Structure 1
Amino acid sequence: LGQIKKQFGYKIITDIHESYQAPSIAKVADVIQIPAFLCRQTDLIVAVAKTDRIVNIKKGQFMNPADMQHSVLKAIKTRGGTQVNYEQSQKYNVWLTERGSSFGYGNLVVDMRSLVIMRHFAPVIFDATHSVQMPGAAGGKSGGDSSFVPYLARAAAAVGVDGFFMETHLNPKEALSDGPNMVQTDALIPLVAQLEALGNFVK
């Protein structure tokens, strides 16, 4: 990741899985992301919050969006704050990401109310590609249906969010991970333009 950043000048966001990794990741990443299944893991959130990097906590597929304020508070308290609200989360660089909720077996659904609820206490990023994931639907790995990405992303833009996360690939069928829910690269720029226009209209 350090080589990629140096060569291309990209900002870097990456997951963390163990608390001890935080100092090393902070040397390279601009945003350190708490994976959805670890969003309540106190020691992990605290370890990331002790760095000077943006903390991005992905909402667990099993979580009530309102309960994510407790994860946000763990990060804010570590950084010297005392309360959870949008302004405090902005000040202490703590984000939340919506990536869908479990809906039966092998499927996710996005409740757009979740974006509104969580945005009361933190900037919200909408993960448009993981939200169309179908966990375990591809024979031991996740499947997905990328055809729904533009619709969900435009809906999130109309509701109002602070940013988007989307995985892209020149040829998603050749991707080593998450290919079925990726946006093909040549379709990404037009979609981003639409989302920007919708976001400006909503504002």
Structure 2
Amino acid sequence: MSKFMLIAGPCVIESEENVMLIAEKIKGIAERLDLDYYFKASFDKANRTSITSYRGPGIDEGLRILKKVKDTYGLKIATDIHEPWQADRVKDVVDIIQIPAFLCRQTDLLVAAAKTGKLINVKKAQFLAPWDMKNVVKKIEDSGNKNIMLCERGTSFGYNTLVVDMTGIQEMKKFGYPVVMDATHSVQKPGGKGTATGGNRENVEPLAKAAIAAGADALFFEVHPNPDEALSDGPNMVPLDQFEDMLKRIIRVYDAVHEK
């Protein structure tokens, strides 16, 4: 990769206004810092802790808003899918199709995503060893797509707890594809608030820096103007007004690692 690759945006589409604000702000940051930027937001969060949790606007409205971001700001787009039929629906709007961690072994979902020809970012399941991702990679490759990224997002460690094994980054790089570090989901406490997921936002930056030092090729962040009032994943999202300074500090690590 010639530039530092950044995937960032809100966890879920809360409103058109919210999405457009975040996209505009991060676009400016990415231009100032010369980053290869992909705007990410979900149209549906199908694996929320509680049945009453906000899931998003759905695929029709969600894709309309993501297309508006693309057309208005000229940004590349990433979003996740949960069912095979959604791959064909999203392919004309998005540049990266993301496979959620819990679904990374779902063969039909991987095949459908692969057949779009898009860049596929597969999150490693919290219950898988890094080397087990070889079977995930093969499913996508055998479906005719070698445009793949693998994403580290933490491993289950007891109840409501995740840890990140940085050696897993190098293990997954052995498959020959870029590895992304999801720095915000890696600090989650799944179900840790009873009917919602908790998190330790203060650990996002240290984990991102460590991942870059360990060889990660790209970083993924969820960002929000007011995380404490966000409708999903607030405890682990980065406040928008702190994001640029955080990235500057992380990029210093990236530059040191890639110094020639």
What's the counterpart of residue 173 of structure 1? 228
Counterpart AA for 2:214: V
Give the 3-state SS of the residue equivalent to 2:142 in structure 1. helix
Q: Distance in 1 between matches of 2:80 and 2:90?
A: 9
What's the counterpart of residue 154 of structure 2? 100
Among all aligned residue pairs of Structure 1 and Structure 2, give the percentage whose two residues are the same amino acid.
51
What's the counterpart of residue 64 of structure 1? 129
Q: Distance in 2 between matches of 1:174 and 1:104?
A: 28
What's the counterpart of residue 75 of structure 2? 10
Cα deviation for residue 13 of structure 1 reads: 0.7
What's the counterpart of residue 86 of structure 1? none
Query: Could you list the per-position Cα deviations for residues 24-73 of structure 1 after superposition, in whole angstroms to 9, with x for gaps in the alignment?
Result: 11011110011000001111101100002101100000001001011011
Cα pair 2:205 2:250 within 8 Å, conserved:
no
Q: Distance in 2 between matches of 1:188 and 1:119?
A: 27
Counterpart AA for 1:50: K
Cα pair 1:146 1:182 within 8 Å, conserved:
yes
Q: Distance in 1 between matches of 2:254 and 2:157?
A: 28
1:47 aligned onto 2:120: no
Q: TM-score w.r.t. structure 1 length? A: 0.91
Cα deviation for residue 106 of structure 1 reads: 0.5
Structure 2 residue ranges without an equivalent (≥5) = 1-65
Q: Distance in 1 between matches of 2:136 and 2:236?
A: 27
**Aligned with residue 166 of structure 2, among 112, 123, 132:** 112
Query: Could you list the per-position Cα deviations for residues 54-105 of structure 1 after superposition, in whole angstroms to 9, with x for gaps in the alignment?
Result: 011000000010010110111112116xxxxxxxxxxx21000000000101
**Aligned with residue 253 of structure 2, among 182, 198, 201:** 198
Q: Distance in 1 between matches of 2:229 and 2:69?
A: 21
Q: TM-score w.r.t. structure 2 length? A: 0.72
Cα deviation for residue 195 of structure 1 reads: 2.0
Give the 3-state SS of the residue equivalent to 2:219 in structure 1. strand
1:141 aligned onto 2:141: no
1:73 aligned onto 2:141: no
1:131 aligned onto 2:186: yes
Cα deviation for residue 185 of structure 1 reads: 1.2
State the 4+ residue runs in structure 1 displaced beyond 6 angstroms.
Answer: none
What's the counterpart of residue 43 of structure 2? none
Deviates more, 1:173-182 or 1:4-13: 4-13
1:187 aligned onto 2:252: no
1:157 aligned onto 2:221: no
Cα pair 1:118 1:124 within 8 Å, conserved:
yes
Over aligned residues, Cα RMSD in angstroms?
Answer: 1.1
Q: Distance in 2 between matches of 1:141 and 1:12?
A: 27
Structure 1 residue ranges without an equivalent (≥5) = 81-91
Counterpart AA for 2:253: L
Give the 3-state SS of the residue equivalent to 1:126 in structure 2. strand
Cα deviation for residue 9 of structure 1 reads: 2.1
Deviates more, 1:114-123 or 1:4-13: 4-13
Cα pair 1:160 1:199 within 8 Å, conserved:
no
